[in-house]
Amino acid sequence: MAGSPGRHTPPQWQRGRFANWFVTVDHKRIGILYIATAGFFFLAAGVMALLMRTQLAQADLEVVTREGYNQLFTVHGTMMIFLVVVPVLAGFGNYLVPLMIGARDMAFPRLNAMSYWLYLFGGLVLLFSFFASEGAPRAGWTSYPPFSTYTTGVGQDLWILSLHILTLSSLAGAINFIVTIHNLRTRGMSWTRMPLFVWSIEVYAGLLILVLPTLSAGLTLLLFDRKLGTNFFIPAGDADGSPVLYQHVFWFFGHPEVYIMILPVMGIISEVLPVFARKPIFGYKAIAFSTVAIGFYSMLVWAHHMFTVGMPDFLNGFFMVSSMIIAVPTGVKIFNWLATLWRGNLHFDTAMLFALGFLSVFTIGGLSGIFLAAFPIDWQVHDTYFVVAHLHYVLFGGSILGVFAGLYYWWPKMFGRMLGERLGKLSFWTTFVGFNLTFFPQHLLGLLGMPRRIYTYRDDALWEAYNLASTIGSYVMGLGILLFVVNVVRSRRGVRAGNDPWLADTLEWYTTSPPPEHNFDKVPYVTSARPLYDLRRRLRERGAL
Amino acid sequence: MFIAFCALVALAVAGAALADNAGFTPVEPRSPNAEAINASYNWVALFTGVIFLIVQGSLILFVVRYRRGRRRRTDEGAQVHGNTNLELAWTIAPVLILVAIGAFIFYKLPQIRDIPEASAAGEEPLDVTVKGYRFYWQYEYPNGTIALDRLRAPVDGNVRLLITAPDFDVIHSWWIPALGGKFDAIPGRTNESWFRASREGVYRGQCAEFCGVQHTAMTATAEVLPREEFDRWLEEEGRAQEAGRSETFGREIYDAACAKCHELGGEGDIGPPLKGNALVNDAEAIEDVVRNGRGAMPPVGKDWEERQMDALTSFLEEEFGSGG
């Protein structure tokens, strides 16, 4: 199915040290390209965040211009979501799914390469929009019309173009994941023996396929309104369009997107916790099923982003209840993870620290979500810094901390060398403390009445105190990220990792680190969700270990 | 692991002791709907607080209790694969909590949604149309009086807000935290909200839906006055505006609709300076710009009534024109 990699010899020019990265169709290299590119965009969008926090350190500062500020938060949000979290997870999925299911590659290696290159160019379109006439897009990552319709300059059009390209990229990637997972599992790997990370990628890919076309349609109509003078989203006398229609379309995509960004991270956590607790995951089936349940319900909750547009109360009530229902499978996961720690032999390597940090702060993000789901409370906190705090607790405290857990865990597999543990721990603590200092006070700011997306704020002692704390926190967090970058650079001379430095359970640790191009010479028959654990036990029984 | 976090919480709690709530609950409510929202907030905070303590508590407990100690990586933890009863328990318990939260919200909803009974017999709620423009709020009273940015209302009186935005504008969101939740001002739609201010005073809020370059400057103020004072203002200002002799109207329009981009003294900022600008002597040219916009300037007064336009043009001429 995957052609026969390794059998045909590539021409000379493709074998150069750099050239082979441009022509590669190897899922591992594409995975690394995804992760590295997402890392680059993460640093870029992080710098934008620091600029915004500097502007907000005190009231009435003029670090950036007003339009500049609007461009920064628009590109920061769009970039972190579409160019960092979603693709870094596609990177993990690319690298890990074939290895975890004992396959040689993804089902469609060349389609896989196309997904990556579309992603890179789509990302560059957005990044370089800063040089467009009138600068980068400035209507927020949600780009609500009529504002985004009336915005002058080409920044907004580049935003639409960029998202169109990224949508194609993700769609092709998602189809590839599903075909791979359904068809290329090795002997013995039934659905209930599949690693939980692969389960999460299955749901991630399914959601992408279901909701991305909606986004594409909405963006296309927005482009028509801007360029062809249609009025799908603007009221214009007798040919009435509705700005609220765009919000429905956008959030029908946008809320599942939230779960697209967190489910694979939950998958990572479900892989990391048992290995460092030296236990099996508690309630494998409950965790796998809750992933599917979250994926399903995520498509029924979109209008909880729209409680203030004036929907009738039976709709408000419906979306409140459906949003709260999602808390149930999410709670199941959290309690199962906690139970995985119970009576374990907990090893606090850096990957585990990040996973435990995830568990702690993601819970806070989940709990603040309940306030937002209760629609009358949302009428107070909607579009304030409370929401900014909530979404960063979920997306940074959740997704990004989980991604770091994954990076520290799988780095030795990817590069054959360990990341430094001392620097790693320092990086974790700096990031974790900085994160909480940045975002916890933002809950309070929101409740005090500070709306989001403002370039300065009321000259009030308490507002300034919380904002200053938040800005200081963001620098501390930036330092933590910087320490990670140093760790990456130093890992070139890091300790060599064997095949399986963590004594882990899943198939990717069966092969060498890094794996050969064809992944495995031989794949053991899979007898449970922990094939390597079974293998070690059999070897021990035979006295070979 | 949570030292920093706990320190932060302690710090914030200390702050809460100083200020009345320091941001741990929505701002002090001054209207029944805001009060009911705060009650809902506290109810949710009760449950989430308990869950927070359970999760973080057991996390810390397990981290300490089951830490590696002297054990090696090859030493296994308990090989427990799950427990159906436990898992059922932590599926059902959250359901019950959410039912309790949802039921309370629906129980409180009428107090948040519905205008309360009038205190005086025969007292009708005061209907005010609230319109969001880039970047100011315009209030229209039943007698035709127009006010900008500063909404005046009587104390202990029901005020019904009809929140909208003109067709040519963008979405804004009307919000004064002490007087209740926010509702979007959407072109082509009208949302209804209300408040009943329990105390005289000035309440502040600001636009909560990103609407453009001066979204930040789009503040909203509600000035709650004694009933007689409010009635007197409404009648006198209404009559003065109708006769075109209101002394404050021109200034009010300028401050709200123009000054955010041209500065209070007309020095210019995002927009060009108006002071000494030849345009200000030409009422027709002003009207053209205000009604149709120019370049980056939105059509801020496209649907203004004639008397509103006249008040602005004569103000501009007096203030910044060759005569002034």
Q: Do B56 and A363 touch (CB under 8 A)?
A: yes
pLDDT tens figures, B226-249: 999 999 999 999 999 999 999 999
Contacts of A456 in chain B (CB under 8 A): 216
**Residue from A37, A129, A148, A170 carrying the catalytic annotation:** A170
Place of tokens 């790693």: A424
Quick check: is A425 catalytic?
Answer: no
Contacts of A358 in chain B (CB under 8 A): none
In this prediction, residue A2 carries a pLDDT of 47
In the predicted structure, residue B35 carries a pLDDT above the cut 60: yes
Task: Considering only CA atoms, give the Rg of chain A.
Answer: 23
Q: Binning pLDDT at 50, 70 and 90, where does residue B18 land?
A: low
DSSP string, B176-196: -GGG---EEE-BT--EEEEE-
Q: Do B108 and A317 touch (CB under 8 A)?
A: no
Q: Which residue of A has its CA nearest to B176?
A: A449
CA gap A347, A421 in Å, rounded: 12
Q: Exposed e or buried b for every residue in A17-44, given b needs 16+ CB within 10 A?
A: eeeeeeebbbbbbbbbbbbebbbebbeb
CA gap B177, B208 in Å, rounded: 11
In terms of phi and psi (left: phi > 0; alpha: psi -120 to 50; beta: otherwise), the region of A135 is left
Angstrom CA distances, A200 to A115, A264, A353, stand at 20, 5, 22
Quick check: is A518 catalytic?
Answer: no
Whole-number average pLDDT of chain B: 92
User: Are B23 and A447 in contact, with CB atoms under 8 Å apart?
Assistant: yes
Contacts of B74 in chain A (CB under 8 A): 503
Quick check: is A333 catalytic?
Answer: yes
Chain A closest-CA separation from residue B318 CA (Å): 31
* Token pair listed for A331: 């709670």
Q: Do B77 and A343 touch (CB under 8 A)?
A: yes
**Average pLDDT along chain A, 545 residues, taken 10 residues at a time:** 56 81 95 98 98 97 95 97 97 98 96 97 96 94 95 95 97 98 96 98 97 97 95 81 95 96 98 97 96 96 96 96 96 97 97 98 97 97 97 97 98 97 98 98 96 95 96 98 98 94 96 95 94 94 83
* Token pair listed for A543: 């006295």
If DSSP codes are grouped into helix, strand and coil, which group holds residue A130? helix
CA angle A335, A340, A345 (to 5 degrees): 145
In this prediction, residue B6 carries a pLDDT of 62
Q: Which residue of B has its CA nearest to A150?
A: B170
In the predicted structure, residue B13 carries a pLDDT above the cut 50: yes
B-interface mutation test, from A246, A248, A447, most B Cβ less than 10 A away: A447
pLDDT tens figures, B244-299: 999 999 999 999 999 999 999 999 999 999 988 888 899 999 999 999 999 889 99
* Token pair listed for A497: 């990792």
Size of interface A-B (CB pairs under 8 A): 285
DSSP string, B4-42: HHHHHHHHHHHHHHHSSSTTSSSSPP-SHHHHHHHHHHH
In the predicted structure, residue B324 carries a pLDDT above the cut 50: no
Q: How many C-beta atoms surround the C-beta of residue A261 within 10 A?
A: 23
Nearest to B80 among A70, A242, A343 (CB): A343
**Residue from A27, A255, A390, A413 carrying the catalytic annotation:** A255
pLDDT tens figures, B96-120: 999 999 999 999 999 999 998 876 6
Instruction: Using DSSP bridges, classify how beta strands B201-206 and B172-174 pair: parallel, antiparallel or unpaired.
Output: unpaired
| Helix-, strand-, coil-residue percentages of chain A, each rounded to 5 | 70, 0, 30
In this prediction, residue A11 carries a pLDDT of 79
A-interface mutation test, from B43, B47, B75, B210, most A Cβ less than 10 A away: B210
CA gap B220, A457 in Å, rounded: 13
**Bridge partners, residue B185, by sequence:** B172
If DSSP codes are grouped into helix, strand and coil, which group holds residue B27? coil
Contacts of B171 in chain A (CB under 8 A): 144, 146-147, 243
Q: Which residue of B has its CA nearest to A437?
A: B8
By C-alpha distance, which of A341, A355, A338 is closest to A406?
A355
User: Are A375 and A301 in contact, with CB atoms under 8 Å apart?
Assistant: no
User: Are B175 and B182 in contact, with CB atoms under 8 Å apart?
Assistant: yes
Chain B closest-CA separation from residue A428 CA (Å): 11
Quick check: is A297 catalytic?
Answer: no
Chain B closest-CA separation from residue A152 CA (Å): 8
Quick check: is A240 catalytic?
Answer: no
User: Are A222 and A145 in contact, with CB atoms under 8 Å apart?
Assistant: yes
CA gap B169, B186 in Å, rounded: 8
Place of tokens 């990076």: A407
CA gap A357, A46 in Å, rounded: 20
**Residue from A34, A37, A105, A438 carrying the catalytic annotation:** A105
